[in-house]
Amino acid sequence: MKKLLALVLALTILLCFAGCGAKEDKIKIGVQTTTTGDIYASGDFGEDAVIRYDNGAAAVEALKADKVDVVIIDNEPAKSYVAANTGLKILDTEYTKEEYAICFQKGSDMKAKVNDALEALIKDGSVKAVMDKYVNNPDASALKGVAVEFKDTDKPNLIMATNAEFPPYEYIDGDKYYGVDVEVAQIIADKLGYDLKIENVAFDSIIPGVQSGKYTMGMAGMTVTEDRLKKVDFSSSYATGIQSVIVKGDGDIQSIDDLNKYLLPTE
């Protein structure tokens, strides 16, 4: 009986150490599914640490509700979300930098055409003017929307797939599209002599749709990655992005160093 009681006591102590009030050394990171924030967070912190949402707004709502500890997302959308939600902030140190580009079906001749147009539009300052308006001087009164309705003329169609929940790169206000990608796509279409048609789809539907030929190209603040290069071709870069970390102002994580404590061990 004494041996049995000792065994029960030992098991009780072990179970208590394992679960009785012990704080789990884990983190939950909110991301938009299949974005580079998702890719980086999964690789750095592990699949178990990542909670995926259909869009950035849903991830931010999860942060506010304490369902996740941080949100990793592109810096410009991060600024919009923080401005619209009291009590949130962006960590001072960037998570990583990346280059945005346009994706095409493998072997599509549109890549060369768009690259030529993009090079000319970068050289003459047209792309910079769009970036300055939305990123460097984000005054809502200065924005010029691109009408949602498709203008069907005798020109060929340039069908752009996007996910219009990524301000200031693409978003919808009323019946019009706004954003960097929308306006850059429009000036590319104008230069090439195409009618631009925008298709708003889920982010993770863009590459499959481009692969199948359903869409001419995809633009959604999309970063070139090794995995994506196996599926689609990319244009030259037209913008540099930053992945940032959104946190609660009174939360436990207040610096990149606080976040990095949860990184997976390196070999």
pLDDT tens digits for 67-102? 999 999 999 899 989 999 999 999 999 999 999 999
The CATH number corresponding to 102-236 among 1.20.140.10, 1.20.58.480, 2.60.40.3620, 3.40.190.10 equals 3.40.190.10
The pLDDT-based confidence of 141 (bands split at 50, 70, 90) is low
* Domain boundary assignment for the chain: 26-97+243-260, 102-236
pLDDT of 23 > 60? The answer is no
The per-residue pLDDT of the chain, averaged, comes to 88
pTM: 0.78
> How confident is the model over 59-63, as a mean pLDDT?
97
Same fold, 26-97+243-260 and 102-236: yes
Q: Tell me the sheet residues that pair with 158.
A: 196
Task: Give residue 108's identity as a one-letter amino acid code.
Answer: S
Question: Is residue 80 a contact partner of residue 201, using CB atoms and an 8 Å limit?
Answer: no
pLDDT of 266 > 80? The answer is no
The pLDDT-based confidence of 161 (bands split at 50, 70, 90) is very high
pLDDT of 225 > 70? The answer is yes
> How confident is the model over 180-190, as a mean pLDDT?
95
Task: Tell me the CATH class for 26-97+243-260.
Answer: alpha beta
